[in-house]
Structure 1
Amino acid sequence: MKKRLLLNIDISILLALVGLISIGILFIYSSGVSSTGVVFSNQFIKQIIWAIIGLFLLISITLIRYDYLKSLSVYVFILFFLLVLLTLLIGRTINGARAWVGVGQLGIQPSEFLKIAFIMILANHMEGRQGQLQSANGLIKPILLLIAAMGAVLLQPDLGTAIVFLPVFLAMLYFGGAKLRYLNFILLFSILTLLFSVLPSWENRIVQSRIPLVDIFRNKEIIIGSIVFISITIIIGLTGYFLLKKKMLFYWLVYSAFLLLAAYLSSFLVRFVLKEYQIMRLIVFIDPYVDRLGSGWNIIQSVIAIGSGGLYGKGLLNGPQSHLQYLPEQSTDFIFSILSEEWGFIGGISVFLLYSIILFRGLRIARQARDAFGGYLTVGILTMLLSHFLINIGMTMGIMPVTGIPLLFISYGGSNLLSAMIGIGLILNVGLNRYRY
């Protein structure tokens, strides 16, 4: 029976996966070679070991009993949620985030696995609740799961990893039939919260002159007055909604005012949790030259590297930006910059195509899934992969803020590679089990 099922495994996804991992190992090696040809890093060897371990996990996950995935989802989420909280007490601090736990050279980043666990538990919760997801009450539990997962990761603080939970959440709910006005509320809330969070620093760093509007974020009297004013607006809107005939007018008044108030209050919490360097990463997205030798350095060097690659690139091991060590984090967050410098536009398109194969074949599996759980699970994992891809490549090109998100399968790192390969294993599992009755 298992042999017959294995014949139905999606070979296209596996080949694309092997291609991406091979490219990753190649450029991790390239990032560890100096301009004089000296190999000063063994990261590529570690990546090969993690890839082998990941392949074993992928096969194991693909062959596990499908029904066990649903029954284990709650326990898996609790395990990695607690591990993320544990990092706040005994975790290692790397690049400003206390996100790793382990002994000696062995360690994991639990937040990477929490993303998979979050997708599993949300898919389990959503199954059979399509009708409930169309009401605001039906979204309470999913939102609480989102707040718990994102909140735990933000406390590390790891803004990049926390951001990934949001598109995953929205995509799964949209696939589950949730109303767009509720999803738009969550999306607009997130955008406004980030915008309000960076406004004070934006005034100081970029405008460098007083903007009266920004007083609503620093003057206590104006802050209190703003909260009271918006709260009164909500009360008036609710009163009109329940007592008068023009309900939709008052509905949208309450909708807009509550959105504004929620984002406004949350921005104070975000500024309290995030470090100054993380706020600066958002600031330099607007203008990297405001801190060109500090927070803006990575973006500037990355754009130079990608632009200098041209159509065919400078050739493997011939990229000056990488081998002269101008580009920090070149084996992790900015590995696409090295790839584009040495392989050019053709190399970048190759990565796009390999990712596209995984995404389109994965969507086919989601549509053919045997049950709702399998469909939600696949959509969630695909959205996670796509989010990493778009955000990472966007930040290397200077069109998205630097958030420290790796390019899955290609960037150096054991936890992100293993969690991504587990995700692929889950997708293949859903694909195989569409033939089981």
Structure 2
Amino acid sequence: MKALLGYIGQYFRRLDKLLFLAAAALSVFSVILLYSIVVNGAATIEVNSSLYKTQAVAIIAGWVIALMLSAMDYNKIIKLWVLYAPLSIILSLLVFTKLGIEVYGDRAWIDLGFMTLQPSELLKITFVTTFALHLSKVGDRINRLSNVLLLCAHAAIPTIIVILQGDDGTASVFLMIFVIMMFSAGISWKYILPCAAALPFAVYFVWTRVMKPFQKTRFLVLFDEELDPLGIGYHQRVSKTALGSGQLFGKGLFGGEYVKVPEAANDFIFTYVGQTLGFVGCMAVVAILTYICLKIMADSRIAKDDTGKYLCVGVYSMICIHCILNLGMVFGAMPVIGVPLPFLSQGGTSTLSMYIGLGLVMSAYSHSEKKYKVFYDGG
């Protein structure tokens, strides 16, 4: 018993408690927000108690997974990629079968009967872990052309899958994770500068030859909302109205007159924060999200090896890009591409993927000492 208590005490001493508590606080707040949306009828579509109950279950499951992962050696977890990587890809390909569900033009969900699953969210974690391992294996040889091409091919596989699903938002997240992790690994300017020079031509080609009219509209409404006054233009106009309606301290979580916003529980949940808690509440949420991102980057600096470093950078990239794209949509500065706000937006798969990523970062933090083992086996 004494030995067991010693192991437990050691575990909690090494646990990244502040990082976990920051994310947990946002998740608890998420359930409160969703409950408020249901009670106040603040969404444009009818919602019921399953909205916040499902979220609560996903959050509790995420907490358990994150705490378990933090006790395990992330290197051993990542080396199991031969098991979970093929599974993630298979699940992502199932969306193209009869199990696939199309929502707002994106065929990115599968119906398992008792629940729906968005495989691309799990694919993000798979990509971060396998790419971190790939970068650590390459090491100082990253700037060899053969290695650069292989790394690009590694990133292209999940990106192409989600593009075929019609999920432009997730594809953007994959692309930015790839770019940030490559920078962190020390990719040479001899590759960066030609890519930067070719970027305008690539953008022109994609705009004229690849993008469909509705995809172009997502960008054009940023400059003229009347181009789609009942669709995307309406979304961004009403989101900005709702966001500002709370003024400094908001209308309160219960009993106010709220502006109904499309996807108020999902991609536009930050507008509801603005309505209920005002500018002060919005700044508090942004402050906690910023802390989470900065803490993960700080953890990357103390990781015991390159795999841990790149793992933290990848999770940081995933969370940070989600925040930037989501808040950009809400403020009308970026196109509406369906990216949830980490730890706040409703979505079971998204919540679980964020906590899996957080658990791996906590593992890198806990195991930052080379000789450290949570469960010492005497070997």
Q: CA deviation at 1:131?
A: 2.3
Amino acid paired to 2:57? I
What is the TM-score of this pair, normalised by structure 2?
A: 0.89
Amino acid of the structure 2 residue aligned with 1:400: M
Q: Does residue 1:41 correspond to 2:52, yes or no?
A: no
Give the SS at the match of 1:285. coil
Indicate the SS of the match to 1:64: coil
Q: Deviations 1:39-92 (Å, cap 9, x if unpaired)?
A: 942201111111111111112222223331231134322221221112112311
Could you say which residue in structure 2 is the equivalent of 1:73?
A: 81
Aligned-partner Cα distance in 2 for 1:30–1:189: 48
2:248 aligned partner: 311
Correspondence 1:328-339 to 2 at 5 A: 328-339=262-273
Rate the CA distance shift 1:192–1:409 in 2: closer, same or farther, 3 A: farther
CA deviation after TM superposition for structure 1 residue 130, in Å: 3.0
Q: Which amino acid aligns with 1:278?
A: Q
Tell me which moved more, 312-321 or 45-54: 312-321
Tell me which amino acid in the other structure corresponds to 1:288. E
Provide the C-alpha distance between the structure 2 equivalents of 1:390 and 1:70, rounded to a whole number of angstroms. Answer: 27
Identify which of 398, 402, 411 aligns with 2:332.
398
Of structures 1 and 2, the larger Rg is shown by 1
Aligned to 1:145: 154
**Alpha-carbon distance change, 318 to 301 in structure 1, aligned in 2, over 3 angstroms:** farther
- Cα distance change on mapping 1:181 and 1:287 into 2, 3 Å: farther
| Equivalence for 2:60 | 52
Distance 1:170 1:280, change over 3 A: same
Which has the higher mean CA deviation after the structures are superposed, 387-396 or 94-103?
Answer: 94-103
Matched to 1:8, the amino acid is R
Deviation at 1:185, TM superposition (A): 4.8
Partner of 1:122: 131
Distance in structure 1 (CA, Å) of the matches to 2:325 and 2:225: 17
Alignment partners' CA distance in 1, 2:276 and 2:359:
31
1:415 Cα deviation from its structure 2 partner? 0.5
Mapped contact 1:339–1:347 kept (Cα < 8 A): yes
Pick one of 297, 308, 328 that aligns with 1:374: 308
Equivalence map 1:284-363=2 (5 Å): 284-318=221-255, 320-322=257-259, 325=260, 327-363=261-297
Q: Secondary structure at the match of 1:338?
A: helix
Q: Secondary structure at the match of 2:139?
A: coil
Partner of 2:95: 87
For residue 160 of structure 1, the aligned residue among 156, 162, 169 is 169
> RMSD of aligned C-alpha atoms?
2.2
Q: Is the 8 A contact 1:88 1:155 kept in 2?
A: no
Q: Which runs of 5+ in 1 are unaligned?
A: 199-216, 218-267
Of stretches 164-173 and 59-68 in structure 1, the one that deviates more from structure 2 is 59-68
1:101 aligns to what?
A: 110
Tell me the distance in 2 between the aligned counterparts of 1:2 and 1:187.
Answer: 51
Letter in structure 1 aligned against 2:343: F
Counterpart contact for 1:51–1:418, Cα < 8 Å: yes
Q: Judge conservation of contact 1:24–1:410 (CA < 8 Å) in 2.
A: yes
Deviation at 1:99? 1.1
**1:389 aligned residue (299, 323, 326):** 323
Q: CA deviation at 1:170?
A: 1.1
The alpha-carbon deviation at position 197 of structure 1 amounts to 3.7
Mapped contact 2:269–2:344 kept (Cα < 8 A): yes
Secondary structure class of the residue paired with 1:357:
helix
Change (3 A) 1:136 1:27: same
Task: Classify the secondary structure of the residue corresponding to 2:333.
Answer: coil
The alpha carbon displacement at 1:435 in A equals: 2.1
Specify every segment of 5 or more residues in structure 2 that has no aligned partner in the other structure, as ranges.
1-5, 372-379
1:23 paired to 2:29: yes
TM-score under structure 1 normalisation?
A: 0.78
Partners in 2 of 1:55 and 1:362 — Cα distance?
A: 17
Q: Give the equivalent residue in structure 2 for 1:63.
A: 71
More divergent stretch after superposition (338-347 vs 3-12): 3-12
Change (3 A) 1:94 1:11: same
Identity %, equivalent residues: 30
How far has the Cα of 1:15 moved from its partner? 1.3
CA contact (8 A) 1:93 1:100 kept: yes
AA aligned opposite 1:287? D
1:336, CA displacement in angstroms? 0.3
Partner of 1:243: none
Q: CA deviation at 1:36?
A: 9.8
Q: What is the CA–CA distance in structure 1 between the aligned matches of 2:310 and 2:76, rounded to whole Å?
A: 16
